Amino acid sequence: MNIALIGYGEVGRILAEDLRAQGIAVSAYDLKLDTPHGQPIREHAAGIGVILAAAHATAAHGADVVISAVTASQAVAVAQATAPGLKPGAFFLDFNSASPGAKLRAAGIVNAAGGRYVEGAVMTSLPPYRIKVPLLLGGPDAAMLLPKLQALGFAAKVANEKLGVASATKMCRSVMIKGLEAMVIEAFTTARHYAVEDDVIASLRETFPGIDWEKQAAYFFRRVIEHGRRRSEEVREVAVTVQEAGLAPFSAAGTAQRQAWVADLADEGLFGAKGTQAFARSADWRTEADRILANIQRTKDLHA
């Protein structure tokens, strides 16, 4: 079996490593290959034997399964760019956290080109699980793809033969999970400002005794600092999902703003340079909260 990966970020690299470890032929393409950020991609791919292509469609040429793992906002555009390279009957597995409406549009493009579109909803953070991350499949061709993925080590199951169901499950979950991340950062940083964080955590521990709030807060801060940009784009798709249901996405829209705000601070170097121990590696969330508060104070001083 030949696999093509469209998108060679964190998800793409992990899948590439686990597939190549099994001797699976893997080709890949990422837009960053054409930018100054392309060299780390080339080095990683060369190190594990992934063949890099010059374009979306080129990577897909001859592949039995194409996995699209890009930013949520690009799900439909990637389907459009990849479709011309699909061989007849090839599976297009859409890993992207896009709304059900976006998945349906992407499916129309892929199926019209002779491919077989399958939506995939990744149900938790991929790194701890790697290729065995819980994965919901959807669409008329999901049942046919399932045994092929399971043979490769994917922990996949079919959610529904109707497109959009798996994605709706993922998106509704993200209202809660990504929202909780944003709320913890907002609440705990504010509590730190007022020096009441210990009281707040004690109260939360009493209400939710099953959660280690110190550990959970450190994890949430770290994940948003490292991946806030990608998460904010996902939550914008979550907001679209909520709108498609006829509701105003008050919570999702606020979550997207908070995630993007933290991502902006990370891009400005507030938490240290990526790849260094200073970058969101503190075991204590207070370190990151103090950096945020100090930055707020500096901004106030500049405008005083």
DSSP class of residue 155 equals E
User: What gap in Å lies between CA 296 and CA 293, rounded to an integer?
Assistant: 5
Minimum mean pLDDT among 3-12, 85-94, 99-108, 269-278: which range? Answer: 269-278
Residue 6, beta-bridge partner list: 29, 68
User: Is pLDDT larger for residue 147 or for residue 37?
Assistant: 147
Q: Is the pLDDT of residue 278 over 60?
A: no
**pLDDT tens-digit map of 67-114:** 999 988 899 999 999 999 999 999 999 999 999 999 999 999 999 999
Angle at 111 between CA 114 and CA 16, to 5 degrees: 85
Please give the mean pLDDT across all residues of the chain: 93
At 132 the pLDDT is 97
Q: Is the pLDDT of residue 200 over 90?
A: yes
Percent of the chain with pLDDT over 70: 97
Give, to the nearest 10 degrees, the angle between helix 213-244 and helix 197-207: 70
Domain residue limits, the chain: 2-161, 167-303
At 280 the pLDDT is 46
At 86 the pLDDT is 97
* pTM assigned to the model: 0.84
- Name the pLDDT band for 18 (thresholds 50, 70, 90): very high
At 275 the pLDDT is 44
Give, to the nearest 10 degrees, the angle between helix 213-244 and helix 285-303: 70
Q: Is the pLDDT of residue 204 over 70?
A: yes
Q: Is the pLDDT of residue 206 over 60?
A: yes
- Name the pLDDT band for 304 (thresholds 50, 70, 90): confident
User: What number does CATH give the domain 2-161?
Assistant: 3.40.50.720
CB atoms within 10 A of CB 274: 13
Q: Which CATH class is domain 167-303?
A: mainly alpha
Q: Which residue has the tokens 């046919």?
A: 144
**pLDDT tens-digit map of 110-155:** 999 999 999 999 998 888 899 999 999 999 999 999 999 999 999 9
Strands (E), 39-109: 51-52, 65-68, 91-94
